[in-house]
Structure 1
Amino acid sequence: MSERPALTKGYVAKCSRCQHTLYKAKVANEKKILALALSALLLAVPAFSFSLVSVHLLGVTEQTSLLQGALLLIGFAPIVALVVIFCAVVAPALLAACMCFSSACVVLNKRPPLLNPVLKLTSVLIHWSMLEVYIVSFMVALFKLSSYADIYYDSGLFFLVALLILNMSMICEYSNAYYWSFLTNE
Protein backbone atom coordinates (compact mmCIF):
# COMPACT_ATOMS: atom_id res chain seq x y z
CA MET A 1 0.00 0.00 0.00
CA SER A 2 1.25 3.48 -0.84
CA GLU A 3 1.88 6.00 1.86
CA ARG A 4 -0.67 8.79 2.08
CA PRO A 5 0.84 12.26 2.00
CA ALA A 6 -0.54 14.78 4.47
CA LEU A 7 -2.62 17.45 2.76
CA THR A 8 -3.65 20.83 4.05
CA LYS A 9 -7.36 21.57 4.16
CA GLY A 10 -8.84 22.37 0.77
CA TYR A 11 -6.33 20.36 -1.29
CA VAL A 12 -6.99 17.19 -3.26
CA ALA A 13 -4.75 14.16 -3.87
CA LYS A 14 -4.99 12.91 -7.47
CA CYS A 15 -3.50 9.99 -9.32
CA SER A 16 -0.54 11.19 -11.37
CA ARG A 17 -1.43 8.84 -14.23
CA CYS A 18 -5.21 9.22 -14.69
CA GLN A 19 -5.95 12.35 -12.59
CA HIS A 20 -8.67 10.52 -10.60
CA THR A 21 -9.31 12.08 -7.19
CA LEU A 22 -7.94 9.75 -4.51
CA TYR A 23 -8.98 11.71 -1.45
CA LYS A 24 -9.63 15.22 -0.24
CA ALA A 25 -8.14 16.96 2.75
CA LYS A 26 -11.42 17.46 4.51
CA VAL A 27 -12.21 17.10 8.18
CA ALA A 28 -15.78 16.02 8.77
CA ASN A 29 -17.80 17.80 11.41
CA GLU A 30 -19.35 14.73 13.00
CA LYS A 31 -21.73 16.75 15.21
CA LYS A 32 -23.09 18.58 12.17
CA ILE A 33 -23.49 15.33 10.25
CA LEU A 34 -25.23 13.76 13.26
CA ALA A 35 -27.70 16.67 13.43
CA LEU A 36 -28.32 16.51 9.67
CA ALA A 37 -28.80 12.73 9.76
CA LEU A 38 -31.22 12.88 12.69
CA SER A 39 -33.19 15.60 10.92
CA ALA A 40 -33.24 13.54 7.72
CA LEU A 41 -34.54 10.50 9.59
CA LEU A 42 -37.31 12.58 11.13
CA LEU A 43 -38.26 14.08 7.76
CA ALA A 44 -38.17 10.73 5.94
CA VAL A 45 -41.48 9.55 7.40
CA PRO A 46 -43.64 12.46 6.21
CA ALA A 47 -41.62 12.83 2.97
CA PHE A 48 -42.36 9.25 1.94
CA SER A 49 -45.87 8.86 3.32
CA PHE A 50 -47.59 12.26 2.92
CA SER A 51 -49.23 13.15 -0.38
CA LEU A 52 -46.88 14.89 -2.84
CA VAL A 53 -49.44 16.32 -5.26
CA SER A 54 -53.14 16.37 -5.94
CA VAL A 55 -54.17 16.01 -9.57
CA HIS A 56 -57.63 17.29 -10.55
CA LEU A 57 -58.81 15.96 -13.92
CA LEU A 58 -62.38 15.74 -15.26
CA GLY A 59 -63.92 16.48 -11.86
CA VAL A 60 -61.90 13.82 -10.04
CA THR A 61 -59.07 14.63 -7.63
CA GLU A 62 -56.39 12.03 -6.92
CA GLN A 63 -53.59 12.26 -4.37
CA THR A 64 -50.51 10.10 -4.12
CA SER A 65 -47.40 9.77 -2.03
CA LEU A 66 -43.98 8.59 -3.15
CA LEU A 67 -44.53 5.10 -1.73
CA GLN A 68 -48.04 4.80 -3.17
CA GLY A 69 -46.81 5.82 -6.61
CA ALA A 70 -43.95 3.34 -6.54
CA LEU A 71 -46.20 0.53 -5.30
CA LEU A 72 -48.76 1.27 -8.04
CA LEU A 73 -45.96 1.01 -10.58
CA ILE A 74 -45.14 -2.57 -9.50
CA GLY A 75 -48.06 -3.92 -11.56
CA PHE A 76 -46.88 -2.24 -14.78
CA ALA A 77 -43.10 -2.12 -14.50
CA PRO A 78 -41.84 -4.09 -11.49
CA ILE A 79 -38.13 -3.53 -12.14
CA VAL A 80 -38.58 0.24 -12.47
CA ALA A 81 -40.72 0.27 -9.33
CA LEU A 82 -38.09 -1.61 -7.33
CA VAL A 83 -35.34 0.74 -8.53
CA VAL A 84 -37.47 3.77 -7.59
CA ILE A 85 -38.23 2.31 -4.17
CA PHE A 86 -34.56 1.50 -3.57
CA CYS A 87 -33.01 4.73 -4.88
CA ALA A 88 -35.67 7.17 -3.65
CA VAL A 89 -36.74 5.56 -0.37
CA VAL A 90 -34.53 2.77 0.96
CA ALA A 91 -31.08 4.16 0.09
CA PRO A 92 -31.67 7.72 1.42
CA ALA A 93 -33.26 6.46 4.64
CA LEU A 94 -30.57 3.83 5.19
CA LEU A 95 -27.84 6.36 4.36
CA ALA A 96 -29.20 8.76 6.98
CA ALA A 97 -29.35 5.93 9.52
CA CYS A 98 -25.77 4.83 8.73
CA MET A 99 -24.42 8.38 8.95
CA CYS A 100 -26.34 8.93 12.17
CA PHE A 101 -24.87 5.77 13.69
CA SER A 102 -21.28 6.42 12.59
CA SER A 103 -21.39 10.08 13.63
CA ALA A 104 -22.82 9.13 17.02
CA CYS A 105 -19.95 6.66 17.42
CA VAL A 106 -17.40 9.38 16.69
CA VAL A 107 -19.11 11.92 18.97
CA LEU A 108 -19.31 9.38 21.82
CA ASN A 109 -15.83 8.01 21.00
CA LYS A 110 -17.12 4.44 20.69
CA ARG A 111 -15.93 1.79 18.23
CA PRO A 112 -18.53 -1.01 18.23
CA PRO A 113 -17.97 -4.02 15.94
CA LEU A 114 -20.92 -2.89 13.82
CA LEU A 115 -19.11 0.32 12.80
CA ASN A 116 -16.95 -1.40 10.16
CA PRO A 117 -19.88 -2.79 8.10
CA VAL A 118 -21.82 0.45 8.58
CA LEU A 119 -18.95 2.46 7.09
CA LYS A 120 -18.73 0.04 4.15
CA LEU A 121 -22.48 0.31 3.60
CA THR A 122 -22.30 4.12 3.81
CA SER A 123 -19.68 4.29 1.07
CA VAL A 124 -21.97 2.20 -1.19
CA LEU A 125 -25.22 4.01 -0.34
CA ILE A 126 -23.77 7.45 -1.12
CA HIS A 127 -23.79 6.46 -4.78
CA TRP A 128 -27.30 4.94 -4.71
CA SER A 129 -29.16 7.65 -2.81
CA MET A 130 -30.78 9.46 -5.72
CA LEU A 131 -33.48 11.73 -4.37
CA GLU A 132 -32.44 14.51 -6.76
CA VAL A 133 -32.98 12.26 -9.79
CA TYR A 134 -36.43 11.31 -8.52
CA ILE A 135 -37.41 14.93 -7.89
CA VAL A 136 -36.21 16.08 -11.34
CA SER A 137 -38.11 13.30 -13.11
CA PHE A 138 -41.15 13.98 -10.90
CA MET A 139 -41.09 17.68 -11.79
CA VAL A 140 -40.77 16.86 -15.52
CA ALA A 141 -43.82 14.59 -15.26
CA LEU A 142 -45.77 17.33 -13.43
CA PHE A 143 -44.81 19.87 -16.08
CA LYS A 144 -46.06 17.57 -18.84
CA LEU A 145 -49.24 16.79 -16.90
CA SER A 146 -50.00 20.44 -16.08
CA SER A 147 -51.38 21.09 -19.58
CA TYR A 148 -54.03 18.38 -19.06
CA ALA A 149 -54.96 18.69 -15.38
CA ASP A 150 -54.92 21.02 -12.41
CA ILE A 151 -51.99 20.25 -10.11
CA TYR A 152 -51.86 21.18 -6.42
CA TYR A 153 -48.71 20.72 -4.40
CA ASP A 154 -49.23 18.96 -1.07
CA SER A 155 -47.16 18.95 2.11
CA GLY A 156 -45.29 15.75 1.25
CA LEU A 157 -43.51 17.51 -1.62
CA PHE A 158 -42.14 20.17 0.74
CA PHE A 159 -40.94 17.47 3.16
CA LEU A 160 -39.32 15.63 0.23
CA VAL A 161 -37.49 18.76 -0.94
CA ALA A 162 -36.31 19.42 2.63
CA LEU A 163 -35.12 15.82 2.85
CA LEU A 164 -33.25 16.26 -0.43
CA ILE A 165 -31.47 19.34 0.92
CA LEU A 166 -30.52 17.51 4.13
CA ASN A 167 -29.36 14.48 2.15
CA MET A 168 -27.13 16.56 -0.11
CA SER A 169 -25.75 18.49 2.88
CA MET A 170 -24.88 15.24 4.67
CA ILE A 171 -23.09 13.85 1.63
CA CYS A 172 -21.14 17.10 1.13
CA GLU A 173 -20.02 17.18 4.76
CA TYR A 174 -19.19 13.47 5.00
CA SER A 175 -15.58 12.32 4.73
CA ASN A 176 -15.13 8.59 4.33
CA ALA A 177 -11.41 8.81 5.10
CA TYR A 178 -12.09 10.68 8.36
CA TYR A 179 -14.48 8.01 9.66
CA TRP A 180 -12.17 5.16 8.62
CA SER A 181 -9.24 6.85 10.37
CA PHE A 182 -11.39 7.10 13.50
CA LEU A 183 -12.21 3.38 13.27
CA THR A 184 -8.58 2.37 12.81
CA ASN A 185 -7.62 4.79 15.60
CA GLU A 186 -5.12 6.79 13.53
Structure 2
Amino acid sequence: MEKQIDNKHIACKHCDLLISKTALLPGQKAHCPRCGSRLYFVSRSSPSAILALCLTALILLVPANIYPLLSLTMVGITDSVSLISAVEKVYQEGDQFIALLILLCVTLAPALMLLALASASFCISFNLLTPILKPLLKAVDVMTHWSMLEVYLVSFLVALVKLVDLGDVHLGLGLVCFIALMLVNSMILSVYDAETYWNKVKVDVIR
Protein backbone atom coordinates (compact mmCIF):
# COMPACT_ATOMS: atom_id res chain seq x y z
CA MET A 1 0.00 0.00 0.00
CA GLU A 2 1.03 3.62 -0.45
CA LYS A 3 2.43 5.42 2.58
CA GLN A 4 -0.17 7.87 3.89
CA ILE A 5 1.68 10.77 5.56
CA ASP A 6 -1.35 12.92 6.35
CA ASN A 7 -4.60 13.99 4.67
CA LYS A 8 -2.75 16.15 2.13
CA HIS A 9 0.44 14.22 1.39
CA ILE A 10 1.35 10.73 0.31
CA ALA A 11 4.66 8.92 -0.23
CA CYS A 12 5.19 6.59 -3.19
CA LYS A 13 5.61 3.01 -1.98
CA HIS A 14 8.24 2.35 -4.67
CA CYS A 15 10.51 5.41 -4.67
CA ASP A 16 9.42 7.25 -1.47
CA LEU A 17 8.73 10.51 -3.32
CA LEU A 18 6.54 12.80 -1.19
CA ILE A 19 3.59 14.08 -3.21
CA SER A 20 0.71 16.43 -2.45
CA LYS A 21 -2.65 14.72 -2.81
CA THR A 22 -5.21 16.20 -5.16
CA ALA A 23 -8.91 15.48 -5.50
CA LEU A 24 -9.80 13.00 -8.24
CA LEU A 25 -12.97 12.29 -10.15
CA PRO A 26 -14.45 8.75 -10.18
CA GLY A 27 -12.33 6.55 -12.42
CA GLN A 28 -9.23 8.75 -12.25
CA LYS A 29 -5.87 7.49 -10.96
CA ALA A 30 -2.91 9.37 -9.51
CA HIS A 31 0.55 8.20 -10.59
CA CYS A 32 3.98 8.97 -9.21
CA PRO A 33 5.76 11.54 -11.42
CA ARG A 34 9.12 9.90 -10.69
CA CYS A 35 8.56 6.16 -11.21
CA GLY A 36 5.06 6.08 -12.73
CA SER A 37 3.54 3.66 -10.19
CA ARG A 38 -0.09 4.12 -9.16
CA LEU A 39 -0.50 6.05 -5.91
CA TYR A 40 -4.25 6.12 -5.34
CA PHE A 41 -7.49 6.21 -7.30
CA VAL A 42 -11.21 6.83 -7.01
CA SER A 43 -13.28 3.84 -8.02
CA ARG A 44 -16.22 4.09 -10.40
CA SER A 45 -17.88 1.22 -8.56
CA SER A 46 -20.17 2.00 -5.66
CA PRO A 47 -20.16 -0.06 -2.44
CA SER A 48 -23.44 -1.64 -3.56
CA ALA A 49 -21.77 -2.86 -6.78
CA ILE A 50 -18.86 -4.28 -4.78
CA LEU A 51 -21.38 -5.96 -2.48
CA ALA A 52 -22.97 -7.66 -5.49
CA LEU A 53 -19.54 -8.85 -6.71
CA CYS A 54 -18.68 -10.18 -3.24
CA LEU A 55 -21.93 -12.13 -3.05
CA THR A 56 -21.26 -13.58 -6.50
CA ALA A 57 -17.77 -14.65 -5.42
CA LEU A 58 -19.10 -16.22 -2.21
CA ILE A 59 -21.60 -18.25 -4.23
CA LEU A 60 -18.82 -19.43 -6.58
CA LEU A 61 -16.62 -20.31 -3.61
CA VAL A 62 -18.84 -23.24 -2.62
CA PRO A 63 -18.82 -25.25 -5.90
CA ALA A 64 -15.17 -24.29 -6.49
CA ASN A 65 -14.30 -26.14 -3.28
CA ILE A 66 -16.61 -29.14 -3.36
CA TYR A 67 -16.99 -30.02 -7.06
CA PRO A 68 -14.23 -31.97 -8.87
CA LEU A 69 -11.43 -29.92 -10.38
CA LEU A 70 -10.55 -32.80 -12.68
CA SER A 71 -11.01 -36.52 -13.24
CA LEU A 72 -8.04 -38.76 -14.07
CA THR A 73 -8.48 -42.15 -15.71
CA MET A 74 -5.58 -44.63 -15.54
CA VAL A 75 -5.76 -48.34 -16.49
CA GLY A 76 -9.54 -48.22 -16.36
CA ILE A 77 -9.73 -46.58 -12.94
CA THR A 78 -11.17 -43.05 -12.65
CA ASP A 79 -10.44 -40.79 -9.71
CA SER A 80 -11.92 -37.33 -9.20
CA VAL A 81 -10.23 -34.64 -7.11
CA SER A 82 -11.84 -31.57 -5.60
CA LEU A 83 -10.06 -28.80 -3.75
CA ILE A 84 -11.21 -30.04 -0.35
CA SER A 85 -10.34 -33.66 -1.12
CA ALA A 86 -6.91 -32.58 -2.38
CA VAL A 87 -6.25 -30.80 0.93
CA GLU A 88 -7.41 -33.92 2.78
CA LYS A 89 -5.08 -36.18 0.79
CA VAL A 90 -2.10 -33.90 1.35
CA TYR A 91 -2.89 -33.91 5.08
CA GLN A 92 -3.16 -37.72 5.21
CA GLU A 93 0.17 -38.11 3.43
CA GLY A 94 1.89 -36.35 6.32
CA ASP A 95 2.25 -32.81 4.94
CA GLN A 96 -0.05 -31.25 7.52
CA PHE A 97 1.53 -27.80 7.31
CA ILE A 98 1.21 -27.67 3.51
CA ALA A 99 -2.40 -28.87 3.70
CA LEU A 100 -3.32 -26.23 6.28
CA LEU A 101 -1.52 -23.54 4.27
CA ILE A 102 -3.47 -24.46 1.13
CA LEU A 103 -6.71 -24.45 3.11
CA LEU A 104 -5.91 -21.03 4.56
CA CYS A 105 -4.74 -19.31 1.35
CA VAL A 106 -7.24 -20.82 -1.07
CA THR A 107 -10.39 -21.27 1.00
CA LEU A 108 -10.43 -19.57 4.41
CA ALA A 109 -8.65 -16.29 3.57
CA PRO A 110 -10.68 -15.60 0.39
CA ALA A 111 -13.92 -16.47 2.20
CA LEU A 112 -13.12 -14.23 5.19
CA MET A 113 -12.00 -11.39 2.91
CA LEU A 114 -15.18 -11.59 0.84
CA LEU A 115 -17.41 -11.83 3.92
CA ALA A 116 -15.69 -8.85 5.57
CA LEU A 117 -15.83 -6.72 2.42
CA ALA A 118 -19.43 -7.70 1.72
CA SER A 119 -20.40 -6.74 5.29
CA ALA A 120 -18.52 -3.42 5.06
CA SER A 121 -20.09 -2.66 1.67
CA PHE A 122 -23.54 -3.45 3.07
CA CYS A 123 -22.99 -1.11 6.03
CA ILE A 124 -21.79 1.74 3.81
CA SER A 125 -24.48 1.20 1.16
CA PHE A 126 -27.21 1.60 3.77
CA ASN A 127 -25.36 4.22 5.87
CA LEU A 128 -24.98 1.84 8.82
CA LEU A 129 -21.82 3.41 10.26
CA THR A 130 -21.42 0.93 13.12
CA PRO A 131 -18.31 0.35 15.29
CA ILE A 132 -17.82 -2.99 13.53
CA LEU A 133 -16.91 -1.24 10.27
CA LYS A 134 -13.32 -0.56 11.38
CA PRO A 135 -12.45 -4.20 12.27
CA LEU A 136 -14.14 -5.34 9.06
CA LEU A 137 -11.86 -3.12 6.96
CA LYS A 138 -8.82 -4.29 8.91
CA ALA A 139 -9.85 -7.89 8.22
CA VAL A 140 -10.16 -7.11 4.50
CA ASP A 141 -6.61 -5.72 4.46
CA VAL A 142 -5.12 -8.71 6.31
CA MET A 143 -7.01 -11.43 4.44
CA THR A 144 -6.23 -9.86 1.06
CA HIS A 145 -2.54 -10.57 1.67
CA TRP A 146 -3.26 -14.20 2.58
CA SER A 147 -5.63 -14.88 -0.31
CA MET A 148 -3.66 -16.61 -3.08
CA LEU A 149 -6.15 -17.95 -5.62
CA GLU A 150 -3.90 -17.07 -8.57
CA VAL A 151 -0.91 -18.90 -7.07
CA TYR A 152 -2.93 -22.06 -6.56
CA LEU A 153 -4.34 -21.92 -10.09
CA VAL A 154 -0.84 -21.64 -11.60
CA SER A 155 0.35 -24.58 -9.45
CA PHE A 156 -2.69 -26.58 -10.52
CA LEU A 157 -2.06 -25.92 -14.23
CA VAL A 158 1.58 -27.00 -13.85
CA ALA A 159 0.44 -30.26 -12.25
CA LEU A 160 -2.22 -30.67 -14.95
CA VAL A 161 0.41 -30.56 -17.70
CA LYS A 162 2.29 -33.40 -15.99
CA LEU A 163 -0.88 -35.48 -15.50
CA VAL A 164 -1.79 -35.36 -19.19
CA ASP A 165 1.03 -37.82 -19.96
CA LEU A 166 -0.13 -40.28 -17.28
CA GLY A 167 -3.73 -40.85 -18.33
CA ASP A 168 -6.96 -39.35 -19.61
CA VAL A 169 -7.71 -36.05 -17.90
CA HIS A 170 -11.18 -34.49 -17.88
CA LEU A 171 -11.67 -31.03 -16.43
CA GLY A 172 -14.47 -30.68 -13.92
CA LEU A 173 -17.09 -28.11 -12.94
CA GLY A 174 -15.05 -27.20 -9.88
CA LEU A 175 -12.24 -25.85 -12.07
CA VAL A 176 -14.67 -23.71 -14.08
CA CYS A 177 -16.10 -22.27 -10.86
CA PHE A 178 -12.61 -21.74 -9.43
CA ILE A 179 -11.47 -19.78 -12.50
CA ALA A 180 -14.67 -17.71 -12.38
CA LEU A 181 -14.07 -17.12 -8.65
CA MET A 182 -10.51 -15.93 -9.32
CA LEU A 183 -11.69 -13.54 -12.05
CA VAL A 184 -14.46 -12.06 -9.89
CA ASN A 185 -12.06 -11.77 -6.95
CA SER A 186 -9.52 -9.95 -9.13
CA MET A 187 -12.28 -7.62 -10.34
CA ILE A 188 -13.25 -6.85 -6.74
CA LEU A 189 -9.68 -5.99 -5.75
CA SER A 190 -9.23 -3.80 -8.84
CA VAL A 191 -12.28 -1.63 -8.06
CA TYR A 192 -12.12 -1.65 -4.25
CA ASP A 193 -11.05 1.80 -3.05
CA ALA A 194 -9.93 1.30 0.54
CA GLU A 195 -9.56 5.04 1.17
CA THR A 196 -13.23 5.69 0.41
CA TYR A 197 -14.25 3.02 2.89
CA TRP A 198 -11.89 4.26 5.59
CA ASN A 199 -13.19 7.80 5.13
CA LYS A 200 -16.57 6.48 6.27
CA VAL A 201 -14.92 5.28 9.48
CA LYS A 202 -13.45 8.77 10.01
CA VAL A 203 -16.89 10.33 9.54
CA ASP A 204 -18.31 7.97 12.14
CA VAL A 205 -15.52 8.88 14.61
CA ILE A 206 -16.17 12.60 14.13
CA ARG A 207 -19.84 12.10 14.84
Do Structure 1 and Structure 2 share a fold, with TM-score over 0.5? yes
Residue of structure 2 equivalent to 1:60: 77
Structure 1 pair 38/94, CA: closer, same or farther in 2 (3 Å)? same
Provide, for residues 131-181 of structure 1, a one-character-per-residue CA deviation record: whole Å limited to 9, x for no partner: 111111101101111011110011111111111111111111111111000
Residue of structure 1 equivalent to 2:186: 168
Residue of structure 2 equivalent to 1:3: 7
CA contact (8 A) 1:29 1:173 kept: no
Amino acid at match of 2:23: L
Residue of structure 2 equivalent to 1:70: 87
Residue of structure 1 equivalent to 2:144: 126
Amino acid at match of 2:170: Y
Moved more, 1-10 or 64-73: 1-10
CA–CA distance in 2 between the matches of 1:166 and 1:64? 23
CA contact (8 A) 1:28 1:178 kept: no
Residue of structure 2 equivalent to 1:142: 160
Residue of structure 2 equivalent to 1:51: 68
> Per the alignment, in what secondary structure is the counterpart of residue 40 of structure 2?
strand
CA–CA distance in 2 between the matches of 1:147 and 1:13? 47
Task: Work out whether 1:102 is the aligned partner of 2:120.
Answer: yes
Which structure 2 residue ranges, 5 or more long, are not aligned? 9-20
CA–CA distance in 2 between the matches of 1:7 and 1:107? 22
> Per the alignment, in what secondary structure is the counterpart of residue 3 of structure 1?
coil
Normalising by structure 2, we get a TM-score of 0.82
Amino acid at match of 1:89: T
Report how many residues are paired.
185
Alpha-carbon offset, residue 79 of structure 1: 1.5
CA–CA distance in 2 between the matches of 1:184 and 1:15? 29
Alpha-carbon offset, residue 23 of structure 1: 3.0
> Paired residue for 1:40, among 34, 57, 60?
57
CA–CA distance in 1 between the matches of 2:74 and 2:117? 42
CA-based RMSD of the aligned residues comes to: 2.0
> Per the alignment, in what secondary structure is the counterpart of residue 68 of structure 2?
coil
CA contact (8 A) 1:47 1:159 kept: yes
> Per the alignment, in what secondary structure is the counterpart of residue 131 of structure 2?
coil
Alpha-carbon offset, residue 7 of structure 1: 3.0
- Identity value in percent: 33
CA–CA distance in 2 between the matches of 1:63 and 1:3? 54
CA contact (8 A) 2:69 2:172 kept: yes
CA–CA distance in 2 between the matches of 1:15 and 1:86? 38
Query: RCO greater where, 1 or 2, for CA within 8 Å and sep 6 or more?
Result: 1
CA–CA distance in 1 between the matches of 2:171 and 2:115? 28
Which structure 1 residue ranges, 5 or more long, are not aligned? none
